[in-house]
Structure 1
């Protein structure tokens, strides 16, 4: 598979897929199977009851966000009216209309801050309605493959919709493309799910059977070989641990003060080799005081490797850095004047 969009992205690990940001709806569904045993009716009834309890517990905490040019979803973060969503849902807007699961009249809200590097944002209701219910967030570091989850949001503008699936993988690193108004976030440790994620689901809730939000649905896959139609069963959610880290800082300080994201301290661009294929990242600007500049890298150097991984594009560089931490020391391979060199670089922070 390749990737297309609302925004296209790529995935590391053994996937080669084209992914679609599920979030903003301008105005498939997953497959399920069942097996029958003698005990199935009772088991099915128990599971149905679990689903209904989770929906009753969590759906009131999931809202629809109207950002004038798009629709997305959000999750009530606390009793003060803070709502967490995706940065691509809010876009460049500063004010929003928020509709709760009860379908009452839309409420006004304003942007607190967005953090596009992690595709997260926090908005705040102008007036907190009676009975506003904050969601509970799970410990996403304990997410397990096979765990049953429900995705709640407003796909295609259909508010309060629910789909079901499992956690199908953890630890995925996903990169969104750079587009106008979007820097192209690279997000590590994404939760992969088979629950159907469609445009409008972005910013909503991926929920466990314990009625806890384990992730914020953000991306869904498409298959270009089938006309960019949805690739059922491949969606991605930002893990709740990262959601809480970013949201807590935005609410406290109005911005992210400690990203925990490693950086080389350069502005770069992908360059092509003699075969017209991506061949590395040219250093356009080695920022003064940054890790690269301190290690001796200069404007015009072409980075071809980092920490033992081959670097061919700015996306591949971002994906490798997503697995590093600020303060880590790593080897950077680069080409200067036709000669290959290697240097140790202490990584900074985004």
Structure 2
């Protein structure tokens, strides 16, 4: 398999990083007060390797349980990963994995012959898509999706997928943070989506991992790996240990609607209902978002905004670009009431806006 075919299937997120990058190794051990033993009949030296062996057993059990729920998706120009969603052959993946294509070859991570699949629907705004197998091969089973709201920093996770076309690969790490808002960009086949509430992980996310499974030690999918950060100091190369996954709660919300209705009918994503563009100040620096069109009956228009207004602030967030506006909205919900600061002519105004829905 030519690894270059996976070139665009894990989006790279431009993110400034500190010059030094620290790698952490998982270790197991224990300590006890003087005069107490780590466990009855067991010394501290004996307990450490025993704990390490137990963790290794946990890893192997999770991999054995989850890997039959992970697939490699082969489009004509690229490779990516997917997760088996139900016993009817529905596979959930990233929208940027399938691109503009509608038919695919899917291979189980555990091996076997490729099976044809077709697109059900894509939702690029959340970088998710659902495809369906024409037949479900033996041994393939639906994944168990966990409650991503319970995911916390420090949780051990495994990323499963097909990085660089290496089907059935597994990497390990921890949840580094939750609630991140990141923007994908349009380059290299990206959807340009701004994604909120993302799970940040130190598990390696490489081209081809996109659309695969991020799982906890209970064998539950807690996210879909989607983005890998890039470090400008490394010439735009992938930044070790910084990847992002769409939380399982959002995956289920989108996938359930696509399977039921063939499209997303309730996105849960906030909107101002405008078409806008970034404007520059006299120093050619981004200075706000100009309203090109305010949709009639939409959130902004109902609050009095109109074409030509320049939005400079949304609630407590400074708005300088379309991306910063999208990121601010990604942290909010339809129906939220926010204060929008905007410039009309030479005067600054404020309006209370009830946010709409994408």
What is the TM-score with the length of structure 2 in the denominator?
A: 0.89
Deviation at 1:178, TM superposition (A): 3.4
Please state if 1:101 is matched with 2:109.
Answer: yes
Write the distance in 1 (CA, Å) between the matches of 2:25 and 2:234: 20
* 1:228-239 to 2 correspondences below 5 Å: 228-239=236-247
Corresponding position of 1:72? 80
Corresponding position of 1:186? 194
Deviation at 1:91, TM superposition (A): 0.5
* 1:168-317 to 2 correspondences below 5 Å: 168-179=176-187, 182-317=190-325
Alignment size in residue pairs: 331
Deviation at 1:183, TM superposition (A): 4.4
- 8 Å CA contact 1:31–1:233 kept in 2: the answer is no
Write the distance in 2 (CA, Å) between the matches of 1:78 and 1:91: 23
Corresponding position of 1:344? 352
SS in 1 for 2:230: strand
Range moving further from structure 2, 272-281 or 223-232 = 223-232
Unmatched runs of 5 consecutive residues or more in structure 1 = 19-29
- 8 Å CA contact 1:10–1:174 kept in 2: the answer is no
Q: In 2 relative to 1, CA 196–254 (structure 1 residues): closer, same or farther, beyond 3 Å?
A: same
Please state if 1:321 is matched with 2:329.
Answer: yes
Corresponding position of 2:94? 86
Write the distance in 2 (CA, Å) between the matches of 1:130 and 1:35: 38
Write the distance in 2 (CA, Å) between the matches of 1:301 and 1:337: 8
Write the distance in 1 (CA, Å) between the matches of 2:238 and 2:302: 46
Corresponding position of 1:130? 138
Write the distance in 2 (CA, Å) between the matches of 1:181 and 1:102: 28
Write the distance in 1 (CA, Å) between the matches of 2:187 and 2:73: 22
Write the distance in 2 (CA, Å) between the matches of 1:246 and 1:108: 23
Corresponding position of 2:39? none
- 8 Å CA contact 2:203–2:243 kept in 1: the answer is yes
- 8 Å CA contact 1:138–1:213 kept in 2: the answer is yes
Cα deviation code 1:256-288 (max 9, x no counterpart): 000011100001111111111100001111111
Which residue, out of 338, 341, 344, partners 1:333? 341
Corresponding position of 2:164? 156
Corresponding position of 2:61? 53
Deviation at 1:130, TM superposition (A): 2.7
What is the TM-score with the length of structure 1 in the denominator?
A: 0.91
Unmatched runs of 5 consecutive residues or more in structure 2 = 1-7, 30-43
- 8 Å CA contact 1:116–1:182 kept in 2: the answer is no
Deviation at 1:102, TM superposition (A): 2.6
- 8 Å CA contact 1:208–1:214 kept in 2: the answer is yes
Write the distance in 2 (CA, Å) between the matches of 1:194 and 1:182: 22
Write the distance in 1 (CA, Å) between the matches of 2:305 and 2:17: 33
Structure number with greater Rg is 2
Give the ranges of 4+ consecutive aligned residues of structure 1 lying more than 6 Å apart after TM superposition: none
Q: In 2 relative to 1, CA 314–17 (structure 1 residues): closer, same or farther, beyond 3 Å?
A: farther
Deviation at 1:296, TM superposition (A): 1.3
CA RMSD of the aligned region, Å? 1.8
SS in 1 for 2:120: strand
Q: In 2 relative to 1, CA 226–35 (structure 1 residues): closer, same or farther, beyond 3 Å?
A: farther
SS in 1 for 2:186: coil
Write the distance in 2 (CA, Å) between the matches of 1:340 and 1:17: 36
Q: In 2 relative to 1, CA 285–180 (structure 1 residues): closer, same or farther, beyond 3 Å?
A: farther
Write the distance in 2 (CA, Å) between the matches of 1:149 and 1:270: 38
Write the distance in 2 (CA, Å) between the matches of 1:179 and 1:268: 20
Q: In 2 relative to 1, CA 45–182 (structure 1 residues): closer, same or farther, beyond 3 Å?
A: closer
Deviation at 1:7, TM superposition (A): 4.1
